């Protein structure tokens, strides 16, 4: 059964576990479990996905309970009115904060086929850093990792994953945009293989009532266990002027 984080007569938000597809796709034709069908069966009524999370990504996933609400939520995502926060474990120690302004092709698997590049911006804030006694590279006896909070301003496919790779800090466990040997080394060290990306929060105006909503999916126990591995250096949050 899916964990419901919020429900009213117009929309519902769940905490999607990693490894669960949002809906059927030809890219993973063998998969038999989908969040859309599971939620529909759990509620006993049709649901419409307002956005999507990659199969490996955990966290907050929003559905509409009518086609009209789905359209309004889609417009909010498209216009940037939907404020999103994600948590990620990345390779290396990025700077304390920054903004990645790097256009992306609509389909990353066909980026070389002459596609038009679409504007895409992702802000990030470094939360904590650690150095593990993990020889992910044979040249060094240890390696560095960081927890970052990412704030995508647009919604291109794999945007956070592609942008963090662009600045040479790929997300750990990312089989498409990361490094295989590194992912395997970290999975062996932690005893868990997953894409270390989690949808933390959505802030938006309710599409019908106009109420200001802040929906949040706390990180799962594996994220807390992660913080117990090694001596983490915690960054102090920057205050707005």
pLDDT tens profile 80-120: 899 999 999 999 999 999 999 999 987 766 555 567 889 99
Q: What is the pLDDT of residue 228?
A: 94
- Residue 130 domain-assigned (yes or no): yes
CA distance 167 to 136: 19
Enter the pTM of the model.
0.91
CA distance 47 to 34: 12
Summarize the confidence of residues 179-186 as an average pLDDT: 91
The Cβ of residue 157 has, within 10 Å, a number of other Cβ atoms equal to: 16
Indicate if the pLDDT at residue 31 is higher than 70. Answer: no
Task: Measure CA of the first residue to CA of the last residue in the chain; give whole Å.
Answer: 44
Q: Which two tokens stand for residue 161?
A: 């994953």
From 28, 54, 137, 231, the catalytic residue: 54
- Residue 241 domain-assigned (yes or no): no
- Residue 239 domain-assigned (yes or no): no
Q: What is the pLDDT of residue 93?
A: 96
Indicate if the pLDDT at residue 37 is higher than 70. Answer: yes
- Residue 42 domain-assigned (yes or no): yes
- Residue 71 domain-assigned (yes or no): yes
174 is catalytic: no
Task: Print burial letters for 174-197: b (CB count within 10 Å at least 16), e (below 16).
Answer: beebbbeebbebbeebbeeebbbb
With vertex at residue 85, the alpha carbon angle to CA 240 and CA 49, rounded to the nearest 5 degrees, is 145
Find, among 215, 173, 212, the residue nearest to 192 by Cα. 173
pLDDT in tens, 214-229: 999 999 999 999 999 9
CA distance 141 to 55: 33
Q: What is the pLDDT of residue 63?
A: 97
- Residue 240 domain-assigned (yes or no): no
Query: Which residues face 37 on adjacent strands?
Result: none
Give the CA distances from residue 18 to residues 7, 22, 60, 192, 228, in Å, rounded to whole numbers and listed in that order: 21, 11, 11, 12, 21
Q: Which domain holds residue 112?
A: 3-234
Q: Domain holding 18: CATH number?
A: 3.30.2350.10
Provide the number of structural domains found in the chain.
1
């Amino acid at each position: 059964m899916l964990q419901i984080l919020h429900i009213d007569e117009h929309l519902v938000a769940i905490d999607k576990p990693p490894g669960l597809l949002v809906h059927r796709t030809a890219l993973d034709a063998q998969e038999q479990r989908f969040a859309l069908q599971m939620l529909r069966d759990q509620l006993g009524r049709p649901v419409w996905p307002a956005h999507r999370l990659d199969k490996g990504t955990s966290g907050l996933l929003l559905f509409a309970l009518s086609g009209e609400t789905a359209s309004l939520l889609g417009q909010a995502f498209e216009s940037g009115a939907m404020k999103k926060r994600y948590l990620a474990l990345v390779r290396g120690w990025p700077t304390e904060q920054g903004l990645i302004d790097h256009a992306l092709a609509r389909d990353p698997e066909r980026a070389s086929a002459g596609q038009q590049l679409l504007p895409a911006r992702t802000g990030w804030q470094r939360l904590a850093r650690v150095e593990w006694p993990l020889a992910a590279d044979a040249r060094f006896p240890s390696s560095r990792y960081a927890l970052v909070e990412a704030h995508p301003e647009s919604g291109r496919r794999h945007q956070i994953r592609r942008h963090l790779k662009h600045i040479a800090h790929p997300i750990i466990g990312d089989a498409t945009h990361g490094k295989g040997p590194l992912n395997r080394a970290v999975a062996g060290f932690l005893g868990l293989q997953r894409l270390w990306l989690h949808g933390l929060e959505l802030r938006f105006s309710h599409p019908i009532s106009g109420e200001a909503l802040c929906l949040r999916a706390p990180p799962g126990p594996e994220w807390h266990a992660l913080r117990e591995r090694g001596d983490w250096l915690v960054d102090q949050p920057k205050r707005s002027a």
